[in-house]
Structure 1
Amino acid sequence: MPLYTAHLPKWKKDEISEIKRLSEEYKLMGLVDMYGIPARQVQDIRRNLKGKAELRMTRNTLIEHALGEIGGEIKDLGGKLDGHSALIFTNENPFKLYSMLEKTKTKMAARPGELAPTDIVVEKGPTSFKPGPIVGELQQAGIPAAIEAGKVTIRETKTVVKEGQEISKKLADALAKLDVKPMDVGLLLQAAFFEGTVYESDVLAIDEVAFYNNIITAAKQAFNLSLNAAIPTKDTASDLLTKAVREARNVVVEAAVVSSDVMDAIIGKAQSQAMALQSVVE
Structure 2
Amino acid sequence: MSLYTHHLPEWKREEVEDVKKHIGQFTLVGLVDMHGIPATQLQQIRRNLRGIATIKMTRNTLVLHALAEIGGDLEAIKDYISGNSAMIFTNENPFKLYKLLAKTQTKMAAKAGQIAPEDIVVPKGPTSFKPGPIVGELQQAGIPAAIEAGKVKIKETKTVVKAGGVINAKLATVLAKLDIKPVDVGLMLQAAFYQGSIFEPSTLNIDESVFMGQIAQAATEAFNLSVNAAFPTADTIGAIVTKAAREARSLGIEAPVYEQDLIDAIIGKAYREMAAVKGAIGEN
Q: Give the TM-score normalised by structure 2.
A: 0.93
1:94 aligns with 2:94: yes
Q: Could you tell me which amino acid in structure 1 is paired with residue 193 of structure 2? A: F
| Structure 1 equivalent of residue 18 of structure 2 | 18
Instruction: After TM superposition, give the deviation of residue 28 of structure 1 in Å.
Output: 1.3
| Structure 2 equivalent of residue 144 of structure 1 | 144
Give secondary structure in 2 for the equivalent of 1:257: coil
Instruction: After TM superposition, give the deviation of residue 31 of structure 1 in Å.
Output: 1.1
| Structure 2 equivalent of residue 65 of structure 1 | 65
| Structure 1 equivalent of residue 75 of structure 2 | 75
5+ residue gaps, structure 1, are none
Deviations 1:173-192 (CA, angstroms, capped at 9, x unpaired): 11111111111222121222
More displaced stretch, 200-209 vs 172-181: 200-209
Q: Could you tell me which amino acid in structure 2 is paired with residue 116 of structure 1? A: A
More displaced stretch, 187-196 vs 168-177: 187-196
Give secondary structure in 1 for the equivalent of 2:31: strand
5+ residue gaps, structure 2, are none
| Structure 2 equivalent of residue 31 of structure 1 | 31
1:171 aligns with 2:159: no
In 1, distance between residues paired with 2:220 and 2:249? 27
Whether the aligned pair in 2 keeps the contact of 1:192 and 1:200 (CA below 8 Å) is: yes
| Structure 2 equivalent of residue 217 of structure 1 | 217
In 2, distance between residues paired with 1:141 and 1:267? 84
| Structure 2 equivalent of residue 188 of structure 1 | 188
Q: Could you tell me which amino acid in structure 2 is paired with residue 213 of structure 1? A: G
Deviations 1:42-92 (CA, angstroms, capped at 9, x unpaired): 122212211110111111011111222233322222232122110001011
In 2, distance between residues paired with 1:83 and 1:209? 35
| Percent identity of equivalent pairs | 61
In 2, distance between residues paired with 1:197 and 1:276? 70
Instruction: After TM superposition, give the deviation of residue 137 of structure 1 in Å.
Output: 0.6
More displaced stretch, 111-120 vs 55-64: 111-120
Give secondary structure in 2 for the equivalent of 1:190: strand
Q: Show structure 1 runs of 4+ deviating over 3 A.
A: none
In 2, distance between residues paired with 1:261 and 1:139? 84
| Structure 1 equivalent of residue 156 of structure 2 | 156
In 2, distance between residues paired with 1:130 and 1:180? 18
| Structure 2 equivalent of residue 261 of structure 1 | 261
C-alpha RMSD over aligned residues? 1.8
Instruction: After TM superposition, give the deviation of residue 13 of structure 1 in Å.
Output: 2.1
More displaced stretch, 211-220 vs 4-13: 4-13
Give secondary structure in 2 for the equivalent of 1:159: strand
Deviations 1:89-108 (CA, angstroms, capped at 9, x unpaired): 10111222122111211111
In 2, distance between residues paired with 1:72 and 1:258? 75
Give secondary structure in 2 for the equivalent of 1:104: coil
Give secondary structure in 2 for the equivalent of 1:86: strand
In 1, distance between residues paired with 2:93 and 2:67? 20
In 2, distance between residues paired with 1:75 and 1:279? 85
In 1, distance between residues paired with 2:278 and 2:78? 88
Give secondary structure in 2 for the equivalent of 1:64: helix
Whether the aligned pair in 2 keeps the contact of 1:107 and 1:181 (CA below 8 Å) is: yes
More displaced stretch, 54-63 vs 154-163: 154-163
Give secondary structure in 1 for the equivalent of 2:190: strand
Whether the aligned pair in 2 keeps the contact of 1:146 and 1:153 (CA below 8 Å) is: yes
In 2, distance between residues paired with 1:77 and 1:281? 84
Instruction: After TM superposition, give the deviation of residue 263 of structure 1 in Å.
Output: 2.2
Deviations 1:101-123 (CA, angstroms, capped at 9, x unpaired): 11211111122222222211111
In 1, distance between residues paired with 2:126 and 2:136? 16
Q: Could you tell me which amino acid in structure 2 is paired with residue 16 of structure 1? A: V
In 2, distance between residues paired with 1:83 and 1:207? 30
Paired positions, count = 282
